Each structure stands twice: as C-alpha cells, then as structure tokens.
Amino acid sequence: MKPILLAAGLFSLLWLLPLSARAASPDAFHIANWNVENLYDTVDDPDNRYDDEFLPNNVTTRWTRARFETKLDNLARVISDMNRGEGPDLLGLQEIENRYVLEELARRLPGKPYDIVHYDSPDPRGIDTALLFNRDLFTLRNSMTHTVRLKWRRETRDILQADFRGPGGRDLHVFVNHWPSRGGGTEASDPDRFAAARTLERAIDYILDRNPAAHILILGDFNDEPSSRSIRTVLDVKPYPSRSGYRADTLYNLTAAKSDQGWGTFFHSFRGRTDWRMYDQIIASGALLNGARIEYDDDSLWILQPEFMTESSGRRKGAPVPSFVGQEYYRGGFSDHFPIGARFDFLQPPPKKNNPGPAPVPAPVPEPAASSDANDPVLW
C-alpha cells in the first residue's frame, strides 16, 4: 500500500467499490490472509524457550492475560470487518502459537461457524500457519503439512494444505504459507525461500498431475514480493492480469498488479528509509480464472486498512498499528501487516452424478534429504 493516511471515505472506496455492485450471495465466497504478528498465549511452553518473551513475568513485553485478550479483541474487530462486515469464508493465518489461541480468536467471531485447520510446526519460535474456514460453506476432506528442508538442518514453518469440498461438489485446494524471513539480508536468505518455493511446487505438481484443472489457492506471507525470484522463477508464478489468457495448470499472482503500482501490506523501515512491501499475497491456478466452475471476481482484491488500525502521524504514518514498536514500546495494536483478501464466485452447477464415490485422499509428497551444499537450494 502507498504510504498515505486513509480517511474513512477512502477506506470505503478501497474495500467496498469492487464489490458494491453485487449483493451478498451464497454463490460466492471470500478469502483472506493475515500475518497476525506474534499471537502467543500467556502460558509457558517448556518445549519452546522462545515463548519466554511472551509471558506475564517478561520484563520487556509484560505479556499479561489482559494484553493477550486485547490483542484477540483487536484481531477479531478487523476480521469481522472483512467482507462488508460478514467475515471471510477462508482465512489463512501466520504467527499463531497453538490451537488454543485459534480457538480463542474464533470464539470472538460470531458471524460465521468457523472450524480450524492447524498443525504444530517445527519453527524454533513456535509459530505456525493455520486456516479458519466456514463449515456451512466448505467441508474439509483432507489436510496435511509439507516440511520445508533448509540447509544445515535448520527448521522453519511448515506449509499447510487443506482440501475442501464446496457447494455443488466443487473441490478447492488451499495452501497457507509463511516462508523464511529476510534476516541476514535478502540475498543471503534467498536460498531458504527458494527451498520453500520448491516444497510448495512439489505439492502443487502432485495435484496437477492428477487433475490439470484443479482449483488451487495459495495464501501467505512469503517474505518476498510478486516479482521476487522465489515466486516468479522457482515457483513459476505468472502476473495477473494476463493478456494471453489463463492456462488451467499455471499459477497466477493476483497481487502482482497492486505491487507494481506501489501498494503493499508491510511497511518496511531500515536506516531511515521506508517503503511498502507486498509480502502477503494470493496466488491462484488458472482454473480459477477461466470461468469454469469457480472464478475469481475480477478486481475484487483488497488490502484492508481501516482507519482505526492505521498510524495517524509520525514516521510510520499510514502503517498498521502493531502490538509493539520494537520490543519495549507497547502500543496495544493489531499487527505489523495489513490483511489481504479477494472474492470468488461459484459458477454453473456441475453435471449430476449417480454415484460420485468416496473422495480421494492425496498422498503425502515425499521430501528430499537436506543438503549441506550452500549452492544446492538454488535450482533453475
């Protein structure tokens, strides 16, 4: 997002105009993704020394029950504002400590009956990816995680996969990502995100090999931008829109155009220089863009930036209000990322079948052994 303070009227323009001509419809669904920044509970996990930073007795954060609940209430306020106040039907989340914090968050979202998809990941900080879904609209058929193998046997967040059955028997495969950070510099950390991209690519290829017209949605905080090599080259994602049409078995980045226009979800500040980064992205297979059974609602992509969540002054003017600035200055805010989302439409009813049989269960994707070769993560 461009670093401009948004008045309430401009917020309405960004969020509502792409959808204002359409009434809410059961033949559509809304997706969103949000890195909620360090959603930890207040209970010490003896297996995770990194959660000591978010405990009531921590002299820096003083992460009390009251602060935890303020964070939950703030997140719920923003999520409830999505989809014109009705909430999303699929919500990808990053930086979740455990299932308990998800249950506490979902309990504060009364608009829709949310179920949870979550697995503990091996990330050293104990933060995971997760997915909330509207069980009145989607049935979970299968879920799994894909482990990202980094060199020197370092560990990071798993990639979450959830396979759904929607209205009329329409299937949807959803991946939730939180790729390794740029800590140590972009170039030095590139191989870690290349490894994440190849892990995701293997999982997607497994699906497309069996159904080239599969409906695939990829959400997440990639710690890279739509034009980054990990996404454009390794994962081979094409920008959206495309003048040459859309191949069902090809991936397209719905956030590419806004990124090119200078918008972003993360306000980056380093040594006095600031800019916006489109780290949070939505990627779709071409089968979701060519008007078959589920179709992206063109230009419905949004970055949610309500005025109550936005810094109104100072060097961070226009940025999201986080829980902390640095590690010591408590702001009681929301997250250091803005959420992102889009709308998809269910199209014509599928042909009737006498006996569709049981749903197939995808097999886990085999993972290669980790390598200590510094050049190994870069494969073109």
Q: What is the pLDDT of residues 292-314, one digit of tens each?
A: 789 999 989 999 999 999 999 98
Q: Give whole-number Cα distances, 95 to 189, 268, 278, 290, 338, in Å.
A: 19, 18, 17, 33, 14
DSSP calls for 27-48: TEEEEEEEEEEEE--SS--TT-
Q: Give the helix/strand (H/E) hosting 233.
A: none
DSSP 218: E
The answer for residues whose C-beta is within 8 angstroms of residue 107's C-beta and 6 or more apart is none
State the Cα–Cα distance between residues 205 and 135, nearest whole angstrom.
Answer: 27
Facing residues of 310 across strands? 320
Phi, psi values for residue 238, rounded to 5°: -90, 150
**Whether pLDDT at 372 is above 50:** no
Q: Who has greater pLDDT, 269 or 342?
A: 342
Give per-residue pLDDT as tens, 50-64: 899 999 999 899 999
Confidence of residue 6 (pLDDT cuts 50, 70, 90): very low
> In the structure encoding, which two tokens stand for residue 174, read together?
């959803």
CA angle 279, 280, 286 (to 5 degrees): 115
**Whether pLDDT at 2 is above 70:** no
**Whether pLDDT at 102 is above 70:** yes
Length of the chain measured in residues: 380
CB 144 within 8 A of CB 197: no
State the Cα–Cα distance between residues 75 and 333, nearest whole angstrom.
Answer: 9
Mean pLDDT value of segment 342-365: 64
pLDDT, position 369:
46
Supply the mean pLDDT for the chain: 87
**Whether pLDDT at 355 is above 60:** no
**Whether pLDDT at 18 is above 50:** no
pLDDT, position 21:
37
CB 142 within 8 A of CB 207: no
CB 347 within 8 A of CB 28: no
**Whether pLDDT at 259 is above 70:** yes
Confidence of residue 270 (pLDDT cuts 50, 70, 90): confident
Confidence of residue 363 (pLDDT cuts 50, 70, 90): low
pLDDT, position 342:
98
Facing residues of 344 across strands? 29, 296
pLDDT, position 111:
86
**Whether pLDDT at 252 is above 70:** yes
What percentage of the chain exceeds 90 in pLDDT?
74
pLDDT, position 360:
53
| Overall CATH class of domain 8-346 | alpha beta
> In the structure encoding, which two tokens stand for residue 137, read together?
């609209």
State the Cα–Cα distance between residues 39 and 234, nearest whole angstrom.
Answer: 31
State the Cα–Cα distance between residues 170 and 89, nearest whole angstrom.
Answer: 15
**Whether pLDDT at 195 is above 90:** yes
Mean pLDDT value of segment 102-120: 97
Mean pLDDT value of segment 170-180: 98
Write out the E strands in 139-286: 139-146, 159-165, 171-178, 216-221, 237-239, 251-253, 266-270, 273-277, 280-285
Confidence of residue 14 (pLDDT cuts 50, 70, 90): very low
Confidence of residue 216 (pLDDT cuts 50, 70, 90): very high
pLDDT, position 333:
95
pLDDT, position 312:
92
Structure-token match 């600035």, residue found: 325
Which range has highest mean pLDDT (180-184, 283-287, 349-353)? 283-287
Classify strands 340-346 and 302-303 as parallel, antiparallel or unpaired. Answer: antiparallel
Which of 360, 358, 349, 359 lies closest to 168, judged by CA?
349
State the Cα–Cα distance between residues 375 and 364, nearest whole angstrom.
Answer: 27
Q: How many CA atoms lie within 13 A of 250 on its CB side?
A: 18
Among 98-102, 338-342, 352-356, whose mean pLDDT is lowest?
352-356
**Whether pLDDT at 318 is above 50:** yes
Among 8-17, 113-122, 147-156, 236-245, whose mean pLDDT is lowest?
8-17
